[in-house]
Each structure stands twice: as structure tokens, then as C-alpha cells.
Amino acid sequence: MKKRTVCKKLFAIFLSSMMLFTCIPSKVKAVDDSEQTIIDGLVDIPDVFVDKDSQDLGGDQVYYRKTNTSLSMLPINCYQKALLTDFVDDTVSMGRYKGDDLICDWEYLAWILSCMKGQANYGYLNDDLCYLTTYGKRRKDELKLDNVWYYGGGLFTESSLSNAQKHVLTDLTQHTADGNPSFPYKEIDTISKDTDESPVVARWIGAVRAKDSDIYGRYKCFAVYFHNFRVSPIYPMYDNSYKRVISDEKKTSNIYSSDIRNNSGVEVSGTQSLTNSKTYGALSSISGSKSYSYEESITISHSKSLPFFGDIETSLGFSASQSIEKGWSKEESEEKSNQTTSEVSLSLPPYTAALIQQQNKIQTATTYYKCPVFINYDVTIAEYDRNIRGGKLNSYILATFSGSGAKSARTDLKKRSYLQASMNDPDGIKWADVKKYKYADGLLTRIRRNGLMSAAGGSYNETLSSISSKVDDLIPTLPLSEVKITSNAIKSINTGQSYNLSALKLAGYNTKGAKYYGFDAKKGLWKISTSSGKATTSSIATLSGKAGSQVLTGKKKGTLYLTYFINDNTYNTADHLEKYSTNASVERPIIKISVNEKNIISGNATYTPSKKASGTITIPSYIKRKGKTYRVTKLSDNAFKGNKKIKKVILPETVTKIGKKAFYGCKNLKKVTIKTTKLKSSSVGSKAFTKSYSKMTVYVPKGKTSSYRKILLKKGLSKKAHVKF
């Protein structure tokens, strides 16, 4: 049938809608638990997340360690408790102990830097201060202690760096043995000016001279300030750390035919315009997070993502994680819409139209989750002293760990002490000298390899609304009028023999005698019937199986009829979508079948055709000789040798052997059909196809094209011949 292109005024279907979205957290109707109860019931965050640092940080392992804290606590309490969390790093030996907290590590590093860079080193003073540290106590037998100093120290929290410094200096200088007024001190100017309210955890250790009039009131102190705390949610989540409650998807659908149709007898082409829209709304809420400073999220390599609606980032331009992060600073809803218009090219067969489906969908989901958060912080180490000689007041910063190129004190220390240890340090620290101190290498390893985790509970509410349209299918413009058998019509079977009715090829036709688009033989059933097509029963044969795979089995000798019945509510038209063709309105095939007595096979036989054979030759499956039936399994040697009158030969399924020179010199034999699947190279005689028609077509069973071609080529088939299913 010739295809042509017609110029039609096409109707563009433009879909639009008013999308309404209300940012109210959806309630879990399936359970009565409150949001916090649901979150508390989730699997707790793991004790340790083992991950790898980024490539710029060496790519080696880093350990995020769980602390007994949560973001429901006051931030300052959360941070202090987290820093005091003991943990064991199995690769680091710190004397007899392995389980210390990070404050122990930082205070000992501060003591080392004070020894290396401090200006008030006197006598056994550094040993005295060492003994006040956690690691120093383990070195007691190594230290030379002086009992004429008044020792002090403390761990406290403050609301700003400025207040923390005042707190340290006040406590230090009021430690007098005889009740005298406090000693003078000098503040570090940059710290004094840092009055911004932000949680600070401070640890200080100091010594004041309480005896000897010549140096009475002299002191030395070092302090570690943990400040600029912020939390980073670790995305994605891990298994069982969330509970997702999804509403049933509400759908409304409308199917209709477009104005693009072809009422001609040839194929035409056209274009259909379609517009789809999608709106995604999200509201994030994280318990306690408004009190915490938020930093960008961390993705750990082995975790899994929360199951959000679809591919939000690709389709709407923002990720679910981004929307979740809105909840860390304030509850803020997001709503994004995406609308696309597309042109669909259509090829319309004769008497068809485009069938359009428009679907509206809305669904909501609430995800309750327990999110691990990494606690980041900066560290400033300072020293305050009153010089032994002359009493000069000094104050200076020994080191600061934070700033450009580092996300936290941990990563800054790692770069400076580990990755760039041989380079000039911004604070002038010689890390090779630091590592000469006992425990120094271990504490540096602990700091650079270990981080602290807390936990936050939250909920993420989603609403996904969409309107979509698509060309669902093509639909006929004229009704189904007739069903015909187009090939493989059956006339008879033997008793005990089964025949698969799917071999009967059917086609549907409309009222103009053209093919009905969309006809499917599987959407109907063969039924035993009367000669007029009325369904009935019969003892002559049985029908079994489902539509498309029905099997007819002969039971006893006789005659019966089969009629094809179409399914109800299957075949409609573009102008009458709700009106379907019926068995009463459609002419359907009725076939007469004879059931014969089963042949008793006496053996196998070789078939030798007549020397006068011409035209189309069908080799029988069975032959009779002297009243006995034999199965034909072989075509004889030289069967058609030199025959120039035969044009087509059909070999039945029973024939599994072809004799030598069977088709030798058959110059006009253009088609050979081989139905057996059991043909082997050894079962085809030599030169069976030699000097036969060079462009012969050989039809073979499905799946045998390649293997049979190789066999037949070896037996003389021309390379120009075609072997196909």
C-alpha cells in the first residue's frame, strides 16, 4: 500500500491547569504516634560511619563517631558533651589507654606548642603544666615537678570568644594562695573584639607562683578555645533510619480521540502537539535545628538516599536534599513547576485516528527520618603569662586551626601536620619537632582521623501534582465488520492428535473491506459450534488452553465445527469510544473439521517421487503400502535429480533426512520448505543441492536459519540462495 503525506490543519492539544499547593505537614493517618514518637522509634544512628576523606585531604579513612547527643539539646550542651565523648582508635596507642576524648588531644597539643613557642618557660614549670593534662598524668614518673607553683585549670562554656577569654583570665589570676587581690593580665586583642554570640567551649591549664618574693605572682597559662561550631547533615541516609508514609495516588483520567485522523485508504502522516506539567511541593522541618549553625551537607560514599518522589533534580531543577536543607535554618516550603511542550509525529494507517490520554495525578508523602550530623568546629590555642624576669604581661595566639582551604579544625590540622608538614606553617609550627614529643604523633592521628556525630530528627513533606497527556494509541475510524482466516486453515486431525489453533492466522476488516487497525486474534476465543456458528459441546474433540494458545484434540471419528468469537468491549471507533462491535455485528469464520481414526504406523519409509513430477510437490508425512501406513522420514537419493519442471517442494516435519543429489541440477526449483527441526549435516546427503537454482529460497523453522544455512551450503546450496524463517 502506498504511503502519502497529506496537508491537514492539525489540532494542537494544549493542557494547562491551576496547581494548588498548601504547605501543611501531612499527618500520618495509619498510626496515632506523634512525629517525635515515630522518629524516636527509628533505628539509631550507627556508632561509627567509616568513610574516605576527599582527594585534597589524602583520600584516606575518616571516622565519624556517634556521641550521646542530639539536636534537641541546647547547642552549647550538645557541643561540650560531644567533645567529652571518649572513643577508641585501635590504630593509635596512647600509653596504657586508648579511649580518650578530643579535648584531651587538643589540650596536650596546646601544651606542646606552649613548650615550643611559649615565652614564660621557667624551671620545671612545663613539667608541672604537662602533669595537669590527661596524657601528662601518664608521664608522672618522667616529670620533674615543682611544688612551689599554684596550679589551676578548668573546662567551661561561654557565649562568645571574648567572654571565654575573660573567664580564663579571671579564674587564672584569682588563684592566689594568700588571699591577695587578683594579678594583672593582658587580653589578646583579636579575641577581645570577637563579641559575636556563639557557643564556645574552653579548656585552660595554668600555674601561678605562690612563693618566693622575687617572682611572686608570676604565671603561665595556655587555653584551648573550641568555637564557630556548625553542624553538617550527613546525606544520604542509611537503611531503617526513616519511615515513609505515602498516601494513595489519586488519579483521574480522560481518553479521547484527537482531530488528527485518516479516513483514506492509504497511510498518512501528521503532527500532534502535547503539553505536560508537573508541580512538586516540599516542606522540611528539623527538630531543634533553628538553634544550630548550619553548614553544607556531607555525602558519605556507602550510604543510600531517601526515597523521594521521582527524579526531582532532573525534572524540576532542585534536589530533595536541597529542599531538606531549608529546614536547618527555618521552615521553608518549596514549590517548583515544570511545563514542557512536545510535538509528536504520527503515521496513521488507513482509517485510523490518534487516541489521546490526559491524566491528572496527585500524591503526598511524609518521610520521618533520623539524620546523623557531623559537628564541625574551629580551634584557637592561646597563651597568657607574666614574665618571670621583670613581670611583663604577655598574651598571644599559639595557633589557629580553621580558615581558608579547610572546613574545620580537623581538616586544617590534617593538611598542616600530615599532608603539608614540610611546608611553612602559617603559625610557624615545626611539625617534625612537635612529633618528637611523647604521644604527639598519636594525638595528631586521632584528631585528623576522627570526627564527632550527633543526631537530628526531621520530617519531609512532599506533594506531587501532575497533568500529563500522551498519544495513547491509534484507534480505527470505522467499525470491525469481519474476521477472516488468512492462512493455515485446518481441515482434519486424527484421534489423539492435538492442533494448536494459534497456527490459524486471523485478520480483521472494517466496513470498507480494509484492514481493521488493532485487531488481535488473542482477544477472542475459538468455540466448538454448530454449522451456523452457535456455541455448543461435542464428544468428537475437546478445546483447552487460553486465548491465543487454544489446543484442539481429537477424541473420536466424526465431524465438528469451530467458530471464532471476539471479546466484548474490545473493538470500538474514534467517534464512538463507548460503543463496541459485537459477535452479532461481525462476520466471523466457521471451519469444518473432520476427526479421522489415527493411523497405525508400521515403520519408516523413504519417499521416491515420480520422475514426471512438476510444479509444487508436497512430500506426504505418511504413505500406505499393502494396507499398512508408514512414516516418511527420508527423501530418496537422486529424488529430483535433473528435474527442470518442479518449482516448489515442501518437506513435512517427519522428513529428517535428505538423500544425496536429491535436488541436483533442479534449475527451476525456486522454493524449498523444510519443517523438521532435527536436520543435521550427517542427515543431508552430499551434493543434495548442487547445481540447483542459484537464488533459491529455503524456508526453515524458527531459530534454525543460521545452522541450516551452514549445513546446506556444505551440501551444494548456492551462496546466492536465501535461508530464512
Same-domain pairing of 274 and 413:
no
Same-domain pairing of 583 and 645:
no
pTM for the structure as a whole = 0.56
What is the pLDDT averaged over residues 323-337?
72
Q: Across the strands, what pairs with 50?
A: 63
Grid cell 536543607 in the structure block, residue:
325
Q: Please determine, for residue 26, whether its predicted confidence score (pLDDT) is greater than 60.
A: no
Same-domain pairing of 116 and 200:
yes
The 3-state secondary structure of 209-264, one letter per residue = ECCCCCCCCCEEEEEEEEEEEEEEEEECCCCCCEEEEECCCEEEEEEEEEEEEECC
* pLDDT for res 490: 87
Q: Could you tell me the residue range of the domain that residue 381 belongs to?
A: 76-227+376-452
Is 4 within a domain? no
pLDDT in tens, 599-623: 677 899 999 999 999 999 999 998 9
* pLDDT for res 457: 85
Q: Alpha-carbon distance 215 to 120, whole Å?
A: 12
Higher pLDDT, 284 or 689: 689
Is 527 within a domain? yes
199 pLDDT band, cuts 50/70/90, is very high
Distances (CA, A) of 658 to 398, 612, 633: 99, 20, 9
**C-alpha cell of residue 22:** 498548601
Q: Please determine, for residue 6, whether its predicted confidence score (pLDDT) is greater than 50.
A: no
Is 642 within a domain? yes
What is the pLDDT averaged over residues 674-678?
95
* pLDDT for res 181: 59
What is the pLDDT averaged over residues 261-275?
85
What is the pLDDT averaged over residues 266-275?
83
Grid cell 612537635 in the structure block, residue:
434
Question: Which residue among 355, 373, 391 closes a domain?
Answer: 373
Same-domain pairing of 570 and 607:
no
Write the DSSP string, 166-193: HHHHHHHHT--SS-PPPPP----HHHHT
Distances (CA, A) of 132 to 121, 177, 549, 570: 16, 18, 89, 90
Q: Please determine, for residue 637, whether its predicted confidence score (pLDDT) is greater than 70.
A: yes
Is 28 within a domain? no
pLDDT in tens, 143-171: 888 777 888 899 999 999 999 999 999 99
- Let me know the angle formed at the C-alpha of 80 by 75 and 84, rounded to the nearest 5 degrees: 145
252 pLDDT band, cuts 50/70/90, is confident
Q: Please determine, for residue 98, whether its predicted confidence score (pLDDT) is greater than 70.
A: no
Is 51 within a domain? no
Distance linking the first and last C-alpha atoms of the chain: 24
Q: What is the CATH number of the domain that holds 645?
A: 3.80.10
What is the pLDDT averaged over residues 545-553?
94
Q: Please determine, for residue 686, whether its predicted confidence score (pLDDT) is greater than 70.
A: yes
* pLDDT for res 14: 26
Q: Please determine, for residue 2, whether its predicted confidence score (pLDDT) is greater than 60.
A: no
Same-domain pairing of 128 and 247:
no
Q: Where is average pLDDT lowest: 387-396, 417-426, 509-518?
A: 387-396
Q: Please determine, for residue 333, whether its predicted confidence score (pLDDT) is greater than 60.
A: yes
Same-domain pairing of 149 and 218:
yes
Same-domain pairing of 80 and 200:
yes
Q: What average pLDDT is seen over the chain?
A: 85
Question: Which residue among 596, 623, 656 closes a domain?
Answer: 596
Neighbours of 487 (CB within 10 A): 9
* pLDDT for res 122: 67
Q: Please determine, for residue 464, whether its predicted confidence score (pLDDT) is greater than 80.
A: yes
- Let me know the angle formed at the C-alpha of 164 by 158 and 167, rounded to the nearest 5 degrees: 105
* pLDDT for res 18: 25
Q: Please determine, for residue 31, whether its predicted confidence score (pLDDT) is greater than 50.
A: no
598 pLDDT band, cuts 50/70/90, is confident
Same-domain pairing of 266 and 307:
yes
30 pLDDT band, cuts 50/70/90, is very low
Same-domain pairing of 691 and 572:
no
Q: Please determine, for residue 175, whether its predicted confidence score (pLDDT) is greater than 50.
A: yes
Percent pLDDT > 70 in the chain is 86
* pLDDT for res 573: 92
Q: Please determine, for residue 228, whether its predicted confidence score (pLDDT) is greater than 70.
A: yes
Same-domain pairing of 186 and 105:
yes
329 pLDDT band, cuts 50/70/90, is low
Q: Please determine, for residue 687, whether its predicted confidence score (pLDDT) is greater than 70.
A: yes
Higher pLDDT, 269 or 507: 507
244 pLDDT band, cuts 50/70/90, is confident
Is 18 within a domain? no
Write the DSSP string, 460-502: EEEEEEEEEEEEEEEEESS-EEEEEEEE----EEEBT-EEEGG
Q: Please determine, for residue 21, whether its predicted confidence score (pLDDT) is greater than 90.
A: no
* pLDDT for res 565: 98
Q: Which of 72-76, 462-466, 585-589 has the highest mean pLDDT?
A: 585-589
27 pLDDT band, cuts 50/70/90, is very low
Please state the domain count of the chain. 4
Is 460 within a domain? no
* pLDDT for res 183: 82
Percent pLDDT > 90 in the chain is 53
Is 174 within a domain? yes
Three-state DSSP class for residue 128: helix
* pLDDT for res 174: 78
Q: Alpha-carbon distance 120 to 63, whole Å?
A: 38
Same-domain pairing of 179 and 152:
yes
Same-domain pairing of 241 and 353:
yes
pLDDT in tens, 44-62: 888 888 888 888 888 889 9
Question: Which residue among 561, 577, 596 closes a domain?
Answer: 596
Neighbours of 697 (CB within 10 A): 14
